[in-house]
Structure 1
Amino acid sequence: MPPVENPQSRKGLVLDGVKITLRGRVLCDLDLVVAPGAIVTLMGPSGAGKSSLLGHICGTLEPGFDVQGSVWLSGRKINDLAPQDRQVGILFQDDLLFPHLSVGGNLAFALPGDIKGAGHRREKVEQALEIAGLAGFAGRDPATLSGGQRARVALMRVLLSSPSALLLDEPFSRLDAKLRSQFREFVFDQARKQQLPTLMVTHDPDDASATGGEIITLNGPVA
């Protein structure tokens, strides 16, 4: 792909010459712009560097990888920022809800600190539950929810953190076919409504085609 021109001036998520190498083998080498509201899909075999790339973007890539290039988000270079300062939200295949917190507690945990006052924070949680079709669920134990309900709570928790970009690491893979389609549509709809540049990793061609967006195939390590 050609280099990204003036990445600082581009809106959305920009990968400018991002090259990830492990023990001398190139996992991925990308120049990419994901515009606000666009959904770009990464596909490829296991070990091709898809999840490693997401980890680099959100700041959680494990030591041992060599990384070149820059990641920009909304005109801000985020490479050297701590994960909590990057404003990148990520949704995994496991919902990772906290078992010791209620559904409302899980959502409130994600709210930024600048949202003050118990009433205001509770209102944000209730609005999120209503959007997810789970009004009145704030006091529920996450263990009492169905898989689809847990997935929706997990997404709303990510969105309540006010991210400027959304990463999807196979978040639909544990759902059955009907729930997968419904939840996928819900996730994509929310990403577009909030104008989030979204980068998705999947092995499922149906997930990729459902985005209507660009699909990039990573072919695996290159010596």
Structure 2
Amino acid sequence: MTEGLHLDRVRIFEGARPLLEIDARVPPGEVLSVMGPSGSGKSTLLSHLMGDLAPGFRAHGELTLEGQDLSGLPPEARRLGLLYQDPLLFPHLSVAENLAFGLRPGGDRTERRNRVEAALADVSLEGYGPRDPATLSGGQAARVALMRTLLSEPRALLLDEPFSKLDQGLRDQTRRLVFDRARAARIPVVLVTHDRADVVAAGGPLIEL
């Protein structure tokens, strides 16, 4: 089976010290959750998937996405979306310009504007395009960050504790939004978290480091 994201006998070392070993399949639309204490290698695993493993670390094993070997590909060629704890919206761009940044270069200007407006409507932020990102609430900023990532048409989605700074009500709402969108787009997801409630909401397999 070539669909989805495959991590085959992936081992990561920090110097000579073994850090983690993982073997997993993530089908389209499914969420693989990874939990573990600080220093267990969760974020390092995401860095390896992205193709920007820090100096001092090395990895063995195979990474394939939709049957394509990711080894040796630069990060931009892997087409993976990444959401962090903070939305990381560009402060010098409007909300609409932040979203447009996720679109591939080129194309008709009207079509690009329509896609941005549709993305805002999809997360109940109609009319927010001209706004300064600094005026958004935490939940609104998280929704814009998610849609910017999805507009880039990622082949897989990596989540580095993106719900941890939201209050409980927003956390539940944003979880549902992220996981529902990933399922609808049939995107495999790898979630790194400290929160077991994230794992329950994700509904997929769990690996504990």
Is the TM-score greater than 0.5? yes
Give the AA of the match of 2:148. Answer: R
Q: What are the equivalent positions in structure 2 for 1:39-188 lying under 5 Å apart?
A: 39-113=31-105, 116-188=107-179
Determine whether 1:194 maps to 2:185. Answer: yes
- Does the CA-based 8 Å contact 1:93-1:170 persist in structure 2? yes
The Cα of 1:135 is off from its aligned counterpart by: 1.0
Identity across matched positions, percent: 53
Question: Residues of 2 paired with 1:79 and 1:112: CA distance?
Answer: 23
Unaligned runs of 5+ in 2: none
Q: Secondary structure at the match of 2:154?
A: coil
Residue 194 (structure 2) aligns with: 203
CA shift for structure 1 position 23: 2.0
Contact in 2 for aligned 1:57/1:79 (Cα 8 Å)? no
Structure 1: gaps (5+ residues): 1-8, 219-223
After superposition, the C-alpha distances for 1:128-173 in whole angstroms (9 at most, x for unaligned) are 1111111111111000100000000000011011001001000000
- Tell me which stretches of 4 or more aligned residues in structure 1 moved more than 3 Å: none
Instruction: Please state how far the C-alpha of 1:16 moved relative to its aligned partner.
Output: 1.3
Instruction: Provide the aligned C-alpha RMSD in A.
Output: 0.9
**Alignment-derived partner of residue 6 in structure 1:** none
Q: Deviations over 1:18-61 (max 9, x none)?
A: 11000221111111110001011000100111110001101122
Equivalent residue pairs, number = 209
Give the Cα separation in 1 of the matches to 2:147 and 2:169: 20
Paired with 1:61 and 1:131, the residues of 2 have a C-alpha distance of: 34
